[in-house]
Structure 1
Amino acid sequence: MTEKRSPWRAIVLVSTISSYIVGGTVGGVFLGLWLGNQFGAKPFFLITFLLFGLATGFYGVYRAIEPFIGDEKKR
């Protein structure tokens, strides 16, 4: 088994993807709730920062999988 096909590489990639998605979403929710409590506009800040957290998470996922895209073409 070559290093490129290692199961550990796949496990690390999956854990990285899940941490980006969960971290961005949870961070956005907590920041949105905190700002909503501070300024009295809960739904606005919650929705705004939830979407911002999701976008940040998906951008992180894209950046994480970018080196893996096209692995099959390089052979």
Structure 2
Amino acid sequence: MSNPEKSPFRAMALVSIISTYIVACTLAGVFIGIWLDNKFETQPLFLIVSLFTWLGVAFYAVFKTIQPFLGD
């Protein structure tokens, strides 16, 4: 029997989780930023701030996800 720690399905699941975090947070940042820009009529301001904020959230989530695999 194969070692479950080195399963290719586990690696594919981890890659799927990471890519989902990055894509979902990027889309959330763009849509929320555009919505706030249209609401307050400040065209690129909230888009940029929201995008960078949500990208920070995405990379923090990715870091927390891969932290058990990094070791000591």
1:42, CA displacement in angstroms?
A: 1.9
Partner of 2:6: 5
Match in the other structure for 1:57: 58
Mapped partners of 1:43, 1:32: distance in 2: 8
Instruction: Provide TM-score, normalisation by structure 1.
Output: 0.90
Unaligned 5+ segments in structure 2 are: none
Percent identity between the two aligned chains: 48
* Partner SS for 1:42: coil
> What secondary structure sits across from 2:62 in the alignment?
helix
Q: CA deviation at 1:40?
A: 0.2
Q: Distance in 1 between matches of 2:11 and 2:31?
A: 30
Could you state the TM-score of these two structures normalised by the residue count of structure 2? 0.94
For these two proteins, the number of residue pairs brought into alignment is 71
Displacement of 1:57: 0.4
User: What is the root-mean-square deviation in Å for CA atoms of aligned residues?
Assistant: 1.0
Residue deviations 1:7-42 (CA, integer Å, cap 9, x gap): 111011000000111111110000000000000012
Question: Which residue of structure 2 aligns with residue 29 of structure 1?
Answer: 30
Which residues of structure 1 form unaligned runs of 5+? none
